[in-house]
Structures are given as C-alpha cells and as structure tokens.
Amino acid sequence: MDFLQPLVRGTLVSRYKRFFADVRLDDGTPVTAHCPNPGAMLGLNTPGLTAWLSKSDDPKRKLAHTLELVEADGGLVGINTMHPNRIVAEALAADAIPEVAGYAAHRREVKYGANSRVDFLLEHPDRAPCWLEVKNVHLRREGALAEFPDCVAARSLKHLRELTAMVEAGQRAVMLFVIQRTDCDAFSACPDLDPAYAKGLVEAAAAGVEVLAYRCAISPERVALADRVPWAG
C-alpha cells in the first residue's frame, strides 16, 4: 500500500480524546491531526516520538493531517487501523499470502453472524468459502513479541465466535493479524489486558479457526505485508 502523497515528519506533542494528535512539524508548524486508532496505543503515544503524517487536499475535511506512523524502539510503527484491510486486499490480489492463495474472488464487507460484516469472503467454485477477519497489531512490550489487543476488545471476541460458527457449518475461517511493526518475530494474545479475548482465540483455534500472523515492511513511502511469524499460542 503506497501512501498517496509523501508523508511529512514531526514530533508528537500529545494524543488525546482517542482520535486527536497534536504534532509539531519539523519546520516548527503546530498541527492537530486525526489519529485513526481507537485503541490504547501503549508505548506509541509518548510525547517526543517522531511522527509521520499524511495530508489531504480535501477541503471538506476538518483535519487535513492524519497520523500514520510513529518511530518507537528504533523502528517505524503503523498506527492507522484502516490500513491493514487495504494491505491485505493488495496481498490477496497478488496471491502473496500462501495460506489463502488461489481463490477466484475476494469480496469485502460481507454480512455474516450476528449483525457483523466479515473483512473478506474468499470464494472459488471448487472450494469451500473462506471467511477472513483482519486485525491490526501494533503493541510490543517485551522482546520481539507482538501482542493483541492493547485494551479490552469485546467486538473482536464476537468476531472469533462468528468465525467459529462458520467452521462448525463446514466452511473455512481464518483470523489474520497484521503486525504493523518491523521489530517483532512472534505473535501472542494479551491475557493480562484482555483475558477473555486470549481465551477466546485459543478456543477458536481448537475449533478449527486458522490463526495467521504476518508482519509488515514499513517505510514513509509504503506499508506492505512481508512474512509470516509464529503464533505463540
């Protein structure tokens, strides 16, 4: 996924009210940017971090800038939770995810479960449908372990149960975690931050939901799916 325009660099002053970030650009200009991340952003909202922003030319937008990346622990971290689905869509189109390659059609936002929409429904005339959910991962606390979620994620737990129902109906279901970091070589759920989700992920896997975790290659020019890392489940 290429950024539409070159990102501008600055220093994070404050992230507040979940969706706002004050940033001082390298030229000294203060801006308030949209922060497209409803999570806790543990370790990624510290004042003084280097931040990278995109800028929209749309005059209807209240905030022209969007916080896209921060530099933490010596590397770039993608914080935009809208990007993983776009990243995965590109990878699916290129058959770049071996575990789910070869499907003829990739439909997005298909209704399923209890008033939900699956991120992708993969279809082929000779194969059972594959229901694919995508989650953004940006938390790292110790070593090189990526973790999800960074706060209680009741909606994500609901998705696990709906994927499990698809497996029980004889279809295929995959939970794909997209790690928007370059400094992690394994993935785990967070039993201390959301014990219900951690337990639910293990139960879903035991029921037949496939768990995949992929890290990304990240630069101020683009973010793309790179390679699979093991789930420490």
CATH class of 8-78: mainly beta
The pLDDT value given to residue 199: 97
CATH class of 83-228: alpha beta
The pLDDT value given to residue 113: 80
The pLDDT value given to residue 3: 94
Domain boundaries, the chain: 8-78, 83-228
What are the distances in angstroms from CA 221 to CA 59, 65, 164, 179? 24, 16, 37, 17
The pLDDT value given to residue 194: 96
Q: Where are the beta strands (DSSP E) in the chain?
A: 8-16, 20-25, 30-34, 50-55, 65-72, 75-78, 105-112, 116-124, 127-137, 139-140, 145-148, 172-179, 186-189, 210-218, 223-228
Q: Which residues does the chain have with pLDDT short of 70? A: none
CA–CA–CA angle 219, 118, 89 (5° rounding):
30
The pLDDT value given to residue 196: 97
For the entire predicted model, the pTM comes to: 0.95
The pLDDT value given to residue 188: 97
The pLDDT value given to residue 115: 82
Query: Which pair of structure tokens corresponds to residue 173?
Result: 């279901």
The pLDDT value given to residue 92: 97
